[in-house]
Chain A
Amino acid sequence: MDALFAKADAIRPHKRRKFNDDGSHAKEYTGKKEVELDSTAKSVLRHTSLPKSLRPGSPPPNEAKKYSHISDKKLRAELSRQSAHSARSKVLLQDASFLLEHEESGTMEVEGELERTWRVGQDEIVESAGQEAAKGRREWKLDGGPYRSRYTRNGRHLAIVGLKGHVATFDWQTGTLHSELQLRETCRDITFLHDQSHFAVAQSKYVFIYDRDGVELHRLKSHIEPTRLEFLPYHWLLVSVGRTGYLKYQDTSTGQILTEHRTRLGACTTMTQNLHNAVIHLGHQNGTVTLWTPNLPHPAVRLLAHLGPVVSVSVDPSTGGRYMATAGHDSTVKVWDCRNWKGAVRQWTTRGGSTELEWGQKGVLAVASGGSVNVYNKPTIQQFFAGTTSPPLYMTHPIPHRPLTSVRFCPFQDVLTIGHSNGLSSILVPGSGEPNFDSSEADPFENKRVRREREVKGLLDKVQPDMITLDPEFVGSMAPPTKLTTDVNSKPNIPFARLPRQHRLKLQGRADETEEVSEEEGGGEGEEGKAARKEEEEKKRMRGKNKAMKRYLRKQRKNVIDPKAVALREKLQKEGEQRKKARDAAKGIQEDRLPSALDRFRT
């Protein structure tokens, strides 16, 4: 038996002594604490070499938290493993952060004080641009009425539609025409579906879906008199809004109408999507902008943006949908912060009635109004400014064919396409397109096979429409703690054994309360006042209660051990401790907080 135990003990970590010339390695191994190995790994260490992926590699960084206060060995090991892993990956992320820094974003810059970037015209830009980039400057003279356009997500294909029914889709870089249709009825909008193989047109009565060659596939009879179309690519939803004021979601993967919302705000001619949370922004005739998800029967946000009808809305993709720009018939353009709707960040007036807006991928805002397109650049349009003067202009381009009915930036290209009554013209806007594409998301150079594969993968990865919310980061984050409502007169009326585990631990005094402490610690300057007020309220509320309780305790005879009184005394003592803790926190005395399992969710 002893031999057996000896054999078991022999599986202790095998002490490796390395006698190097400099002795530096030997020092490393004789350090006071070695990296804890997996016990299975230990048992085979002597006879084998571990694969590289299983070797402990570098010691965990110093930020890795120690969970020495947790008594459960398994849990402790798992938590320390996780924290070491997350600390390592944080270091790796920092290491790779230079890949994300874009020092020069390809914008035009002035050399002297007196120079202005907007004085540079298209001819000059085309001259100085490379041969391939200069192809973006085009003029399409067409006589189908004012035109609207739409690019595919990879920026390779363009769909155009004239009001009188001229529809065309083509690869604008090679000039290959996919389809050209004369529909002979009013067409108000066009959009590609998941890729260039299908597109939808908002025609006079219904929405129609065509395939790449222009063959009519579907007539969507439930979308009546549509005016604007949007496609949510990750949810495979075609969204339309029309003269009837109904917002309709149709799932293009199953063909089902998902929901239809009655906006109750009349005919709507302005719609855009937020790429980062798939929320639909509508602009209405009474000057309100409403934000819709398929899951709410009413708008998630209702905002009175303008004094007249809203004519154009756009959301900034470069900041994750944080800013929204609106333009109204009252000749103003407003930039809004989507986190805080109290007043516009910046507003200015434009000349000419109807205005069209669009944000580019890198945060360039194009405003087409009157007879010209003005382009504004990033930092100034998003900074708060009390006046109504327009922000410094980045570029301007006059177009003599009024009205200007659409502006679209081409993804991954420095190209802006403007639709007007005489066709379309595309101009070069340096620094407007993202230079680095990700081929797993949208690849401008994809071939037929990759396009097919992406279609299948996209269908498999389709996000369910019920996950559309204003905050897309709720997926994979922690659920808020449940409130226990089973207490009767502050006494639980369910047996201890049937209580949820967290509550049981709390009653036993074994719950890990470290997270709650951390929340009190966190918070900026603005929240401090609120927290203080809340605390004050709590204090006031507690005072009266405490008095009665103390009276009760006083009246209890000291030599009788009444469990109720004992519990109350304990509770009072605990509250006193908590108050002291809070006082300390207010004074700024930091208490050594034990690391918690949830620390890794904190940024």
Chain B
Amino acid sequence: MRPGDPTPTSRNLDPLAHPFARARERTRALNAAKIERMFAKPFVASLEGHSDAVEVLVRKPKSLTTIASTSWNGDIVIHDLQQRTEILTLRGAHKGKASGLCFGGQNGDRFLSCGVDKTVKLWNTPTGLEQDTGEGIPSNVFPSKNAFNSIDHHRTDPVFATASNIVQIWDESKTAPVSNLTFPTSTETITSVRFNLSEPSVLASVGSDRTFTLYDIRTGKAERRVIMQMRSNSLAWSPTFPTTILLASEDHNLYTFDVRNLASPTQIYKAHVAAVMSCDWSPTGTEFVSGGWDRTIRIWKEGIGKQPEVYHTKRMQRVFSTAFTADARFVLSGSDDGNVRIWKAKASDKLGVIDARERAAMEYRDSLKERWKVDAEVGKVTRGRHLPKPIYKANQLKRTMLEAKRVKEERRRKHTRAGDTKPKPEKKTVVEREQT
């Protein structure tokens, strides 16, 4: 053996050679859980540049570092996440709220913004290499009669959709909308519209009439509409499952629907204690992030409807916009206080270079936590989160109310004739009516 060689090891697999193996493994798992909580420092940075609430956060396609945000006073800022600088700042790009923004083209070389000032503006994305001249002047302006609430661009074609009191399809080269999409008998305000990512001629919208509508621009009409118990604030199509859509609802919950069967959601995601304002999928489609009126951000695993990761800070106000970065390692949030915050998607993630031994140790710790998660003490450490007092209290109150409601229902059923009313599963109560 030469100096520097690894120490030779020998193994004896006889369980008698390892007394207290289980107890020691449990201790290790408990330590791993505690270490994870100790290193859980999710906040990375805050990006400034807005002086009012941040309404929209959009990442530029095929870019890891560029994101754009709009605010309620009509400003548009394009941020560089790596440098934490502003690439472009458009003060007063819209009069009043700049309510929507989307990148166009395969590489995002231009972007469109819409506002309550009844215009859509087309801008060129700065390359960041040289100072562009002609900053602050849109390359095209599309006027309309109605205030816009949301905008989304077709994935490949130079076509975009806007949401006002109807959904309108525009061509970038024409100043008037190409077509109007609306569900017959609908008189609502559309709050958000999104193109499907894999079948880009299909788009979905949510409206103030507690509706969620699916359109097809080839047939030029609304295909289906679902009326729910409460209105949805935001929606997002899954990047990996073409038929899965996520809705952020006013009733504190998020819902995933499979659009092939709109009678009930595939999963209900319950943790927020106030309306959910925004949601965005991770590019992997296995996670998504939501921001709420309760001043928290929650990171969910697809298909697991409870106990999400929760982020909050003292100065963060209502979260109006959230986004995942393209590498799925970070989460962005834009809130009422005018800051865009960068968070780690995994709270205890280590940034920077990780060597093989450290990686192996981390993986071992993860597997220990997974293996011992049913242990009371380990589970308590892994699942427990300290929440700000108002959120904690609101949660308590909400739980009490729901429990009381459930008990009341139970008692009423007990004292009515047997078989009179059947308990209805919660998933079946979400959708009130489905229309085609």
Contacts and interface: CB of A to CB of B under 8 A. Distances in A.
Interface of A: 1, 3-5, 7-8, 11, 40, 43-44, 74, 96, 99-100, 234, 275-276, 278, 317-320, 434, 436-441, 443, 445-447, 449-450, 460-464, 467, 472-473, 475-476, 495-498, 563
Q: Which 10 A-B pairs have the closest CB atoms?
A: A438-B12, A8-B243, A4-B199, A439-B9, A436-B12, A497-B406, A463-B23, A497-B410, A461-B24, A475-B23
Contacts of B407: 495, 497-498
Interface of B: 7-20, 22-28, 31, 196, 198-199, 201-202, 214, 216, 223-224, 240-243, 259-260, 285-286, 303, 372, 375, 403, 406-407, 409-411, 414, 418
A18 B286 CA distance: 31
B10 A563 contact: no
B26 A475 contact: yes
Given A43-B241, A234-B19, A4 B11 contact: no
Contacts of B16: 276, 317-320
A276 B240 contact: no
B410 A436 contact: no
Contacts of B303: 74
Contacts of B31: 460-461
A100 to B, nearest CB: 6
Contact of B410 (A99, A276, A496): A496
Contacts of B411: 495
A234 B21 CA distance: 10
Contact of B259 (A4, A461, A496): A4
Contact of A7 (B23, B198, B414): B198
A99 B14 CA distance: 9
Say what secondary structure dominates the interface of chain A. loop
B176 to A, nearest CB: 26
A131 to B, nearest CB: 21
Given A464-B27, A496-B410, 13 more contacts: A1-B259, A4-B243, A43-B240, A74-B303, A278-B20, A438-B17, A440-B9, A441-B17, A441-B18, A460-B28, A473-B22, A475-B26, A496-B414
Contacts of B410: 495-497
Contact of A1 (B22, B202, B286): B202
Contacts of A445: 8
Contacts of B224: 1
B242 A4 contact: yes
Contact of A234 (B24, B223, B243, B286): B24
A373 B84 CA distance: 79
Contact of B20 (A100, A317, A447, A463): A463
Nearest to B9: A439
Contacts of A473: 22
Contact of A4 (B7, B9, B26, B202): B202
A283 B16 CA distance: 25
B13 A434 contact: no
A497 B402 CA distance: 11
Nearest to A44: B240
A7 B242 contact: yes
Contacts of B23: 234, 463, 467, 472, 475
A100 B14 contact: yes
Contacts of A498: 403, 407
Nearest to A449: B7
B311 to A, nearest CB: 25
Nearest to A74: B303
28 contacts: A1-B224, A4-B198, A4-B199, A4-B202, A7-B198, A7-B243, A40-B240, A43-B241, A278-B20, A318-B16, A434-B12, A437-B10, A438-B18, A439-B7, A439-B8, A440-B9, A441-B18, A446-B7, A449-B7, A450-B7, A461-B27, A462-B27, A463-B27, A464-B27, A473-B22, A476-B26, A497-B403, A497-B410
